[in-house]
Each structure stands twice: as structure tokens, then as C-alpha cells.
Amino acid sequence: MVKNLFFSFLIFFSINSYCLVLTEYENFYETDGAYVIETLKKIDEKLWIMESTAEHSLFKFYQKSVFYVENNRIYSTEMERRLRAFGGLRKENQKYLINHLTKEVEYTFNKKEGKFNFDNPLYGNLTLQLQLKFDLRRDDLPHTTDYLFLDKGKVKTKKFFTEIDTSNEESFPSFKISEIRDDDREYYLWFKEDELLTTYKIFNDFGTRTATWRLKESKLSGE
């Protein structure tokens, strides 16, 4: 019974000499008075839910992903993103239901609805962050990986470059993940080299402004 309970909360796999642990948490990020609350919870024996709420001077943003993991690969079953930016001048409401048996996506993007078929795993912002951690191999760095990303009712390709962080800005070893984009905007993630590969910093380029979100507090399940 203890063993089953233990494995209902943890998923282990080897990354060279250390293990990444997928476990329930609540992270708090801040930047210039704005904040992000990000949570990961196990909702049954198979499914996890990851949520993120952001409050910034430029926008309010909510994200949700429901997913399961098989063979170190994330399979999303439901995703949602809501955005209100620039005082309401820009609004977005995206919802996705992903059926892996029929290989069909049912989506809503604002007032538009539709369906399409897919072959390979599809990601959103939250599940992509986790999949980058699942795919990280310390002895295979630097490397570049492509992912299929759901956005505005379409499938797009996102490319990320992962490397060891050599900036020496932190007192602990870490990894830097850079999005390779076609425009001049930048997006970076930094993972701490611990058993959780904790995301401790995120950089967003909004065009007119930038934001660096830093981890202020992290609570694990049971703490």
C-alpha cells in the first residue's frame, strides 16, 4: 500500500547520474510587482493537472493543461488559455480537447470552433515546459529539439536550444533553454540542476517591454 501511494505521486526516470521527479508543487514567481502562481497536481491514478495564473501590468493570463505520461512522453488531453492584455484591447480564449484514441483535436479559439486530426504529441506552454525537462540529458548538451505546439486553433512548430548555463550568475548549476524564433523576440527558461529540474527563472519579450520572472517560493506536496 505504501509503495502504491508513493508511486501515485512520483514518476522517476534517469537523466545520467540523477533522477528527475515529477511531483505535486506550487511555485510563486515575481517580476516588478507582478506575479505568477504555477501548480502541478495529481488528479487520479493517471492524470495530472498543471495550472498557471499571471497578473502583470500588461496582461492577465490563465493556463491549464490536463495530461498523462507514458514512457517519458507527455500526452495532453485538455488545454485552456485565457488572455486579457493592454487594457482589454487584446483578448484570447483558447480551449482544446485532445483524443488520443481517435487522434482528433476539438478546439475553440474565441468564437471559432473546429476539429482536426494529428499524429504526434501536441503541447501548450505548460506541458512543453515539462517535456523539455523530460527530454533533458546532461551528456547530450547542447542540443536542439522541435515540438508541435497548439495555438489559436492551429499546430505550430517551436524549436528550443538547451545548454548548460555558463553565466555564473547563480550559486548553483543550471540549464538555459532558449526558444529559436523567426522574429526578434526572445524567450528563455532556466532549470536548476536538482531532482525536480526546478524552473527558477523565465524571460519574456513582449516587444514593447520585457519581464524576468524569478522564483520566490516553492512548496512541494505535504509541506
Q: Alpha-carbon distance 65 to 188, whole Å?
A: 21
Classify the phi-psi angles of 197: left when phi > 0, otherwise alpha if psi is within -120 to 50, otherwise beta.
left
pLDDT reported for residue 208? 74
Identify the helix (H) or strand (E) that includes residue 126. helix 125-134
Q: What residue segments make up the domains of the chain, in order of their start?
A: 2-220
pLDDT reported for residue 33? 77
Average pLDDT on 71-85 reads 94
pLDDT in tens, 155-213: 999 999 999 999 989 999 999 999 999 998 999 999 999 989 999 999 988 777 888 99
Q: Alpha-carbon distance 24 to 34, whole Å?
A: 24
Q: Tell me if residue 5 falls in helix, strand or coil.
A: helix
Q: Count of CB atoms within 10 A of residue 157's CB?
A: 8
pLDDT in tens, 144-157: 999 999 999 999 99
pTM of the model: 0.88
Q: Which residue spans within the chain are E strands per DSSP?
A: 11-15, 18-22, 25-31, 34-42, 48-55, 59-70, 73-85, 90-99, 104-109, 112-117, 122-123, 143-151, 154-164, 174-180, 187-192, 199-205, 210-220
pLDDT reported for residue 6? 36
Listing DSSP states for 148-166 in one string gives: EEEETTEEEEEEEEEEE--
pLDDT in tens, 27-63: 999 998 799 999 999 999 999 999 999 988 778 999 9
pLDDT reported for residue 21? 67
Does residue 57 or residue 94 have the better pLDDT?
A: 94
pLDDT in tens, 15-25: 343 456 689 99
Burial label, 44 (beta-carbon count in 10 A; 0-12, 13-18, 19+): exposed
Say which amino acid occupies 131.
Answer: Q
- Nearest Cα residue to 6 out of 27, 22, 18, 25: 22
Q: Residue 222: pLDDT above 70?
A: no
User: DSSP class of residue 3?
Assistant: H
pLDDT reported for residue 12? 37
Q: Residue 7: pLDDT above 80?
A: no
pLDDT reported for residue 171? 93
pLDDT reported for residue 17? 37
Contact yes or no for 54/60 (Cβ under 8 A): yes
Average pLDDT on 87-109 reads 93
Q: Residue 101: pLDDT above 60?
A: yes
